[in-house]
Structure 1
């Protein structure tokens, strides 16, 4: 069994011995000079031998202190090297968790530019609609959909979630012109989605009570948008994610009305890791990329 003195005091001694100056040691460690003196006193009492001689305006190592200082410095160097290897390995890989929709409609298309900007770092993208657990999953940052308010996490709002019906031009030609009321009679994609009755009621449609009628049911907006482009029906989609498909004519918006339930996409990461360099770099890149794509406020 090791009989180690208090490691906090040993750390203070190592810095004070290197500098042979309590003031310089205090500055290095972010402590007061009085706190350094106290820790040295604790260590000397524990060892039963003085480590410094107090002389006018300075301290000098005793023989015991001079003998102890080099191996303790080497031990701290070894500890720093061991943890440095872990830090370097951690900094070499960034793991991002996000939903299938955000990955497939935006992030996967852009992530290569982050990799090119930081070639020293490997980027791993995990896509799942399940919420990542920072305590158990190997994840550095996540993009989550919701209302925010997750305990212990830093949250940056990145994309407000709004929605409106969209379909392919061919579908609109076959079934148009569409009105909000007529949407109840044409094929709708993922009718189980609560966005449907919300948008329809805001449009003044009397939505029938009871379970939705049968139809194509998909598990993410990414799949719903592609089904709509294939002419399978009308999907309730977020315009931001499908702006290129709208601009290039693969999708059309039959209505001006856009609804929202207050949800958004958020960049989240643990508060304890807010100063991690790779997380800071990813956050800066993500916000800059989104700023170029998001519409400017009117």
Structure 2
């Protein structure tokens, strides 16, 4: 049975007008005249046999039918956008990148201006996530993750660098910190609840990880450590700038955690994603070669 779908122009005009609440704003977004938007909406109302707006022209309100249609169209246009971007292979436009929040803030964003200078036509849209990658479920183009694999089947994996971790604390606490950090408050993050135990097993330094303070977000825990509230286990990429500036100290150094940072790309080759992953690999090499970077 053939679908009875009104013209896409009419649906786009109504969706923009309903989202903005004003036809003049919808006209500006779609680069058409106010009268063109009005005609398309009137055509759609005539075709559907219901009113979609009510009230005076300068204060239009959606009817119940208009509200229902707008909700469906918003979701529908989002799906169309995802489908188009999934197969498009242009060198400009948006590129959706998923990345753990703290890594985004402390490593990726401070370097992102260099990618923009090289590829000004690509708009990098960042979203924070650390959950397992599923390109069939998720709409992003590239995902940056830290782990030991296995990575999604078929996804192209670009190795960035091995992760090293170590205890970090504020300078004022370093003077009273023993080798096992006894007497200091141990800080934990929900996303890496067993970080102290894992570091202790790898370093051979016995630490009583019980007690201490737990933070919902990794970034909160790092800020607590910088403020002198205790000592935490942190990956080198997230604290490199703080260590170099003296804001944090790492009295026990850093050791390999067994995890690696990687960039994962959709199985289908895309020029924008390829350019971004190539840039990431270059930045990772520069970072790994910087003075003071502990060897994995």
The aligned counterpart of 1:267 is: 263
Change in CA separation of 1:89 and 1:161 when aligned onto 2, cut-off 3 Å: same
SS in 2 for 1:289: helix
Q: Which of 247, 250, 262 is equivalent to 2:247?
A: 250
Change in CA separation of 1:191 and 1:127 when aligned onto 2, cut-off 3 Å: closer
> What is the alpha-carbon root mean square deviation over aligned residues?
2.8
Q: Which of the pair has more CA radius of gyration?
A: 1
CA deviations over 1:176-209 (Å, ceiling 9, x no partner): 1x2233x24310110772221232244444455x
Q: Which of 214, 232, 254 is equivalent to 2:229?
A: 232
Q: CA deviation at 1:130?
A: 2.3
Contact 1:132 1:139 in 2 (8 A): no
Structure 1 residue 195 and structure 2 residue 201: aligned? no
Change in CA separation of 1:261 and 1:185 when aligned onto 2, cut-off 3 Å: same
SS in 1 for 2:164: strand
Structure 1 residue 293 and structure 2 residue 290: aligned? no
Change in CA separation of 1:285 and 1:250 when aligned onto 2, cut-off 3 Å: same
Contact 1:164 1:238 in 2 (8 A): yes
Question: Structure 2 unaligned runs (5+)?
Answer: 2-83
Change in CA separation of 1:184 and 1:205 when aligned onto 2, cut-off 3 Å: same
Q: CA deviation at 1:133?
A: 2.5
Distance 1:87 1:240 in 2: 33
SS in 2 for 1:217: strand
Q: TM-score, normalised by structure 1?
A: 0.62
Change in CA separation of 1:204 and 1:286 when aligned onto 2, cut-off 3 Å: closer
Structure 1 runs of 4+ aligned residues shifted over 6 Å read none
Q: CA deviation at 1:292?
A: 1.2
Q: CA deviation at 1:124?
A: 0.3
Change in CA separation of 1:282 and 1:202 when aligned onto 2, cut-off 3 Å: closer
SS in 2 for 1:280: helix
The aligned counterpart of 2:184 is: 186
The aligned counterpart of 1:70 is: none
Q: How many residues align?
A: 207
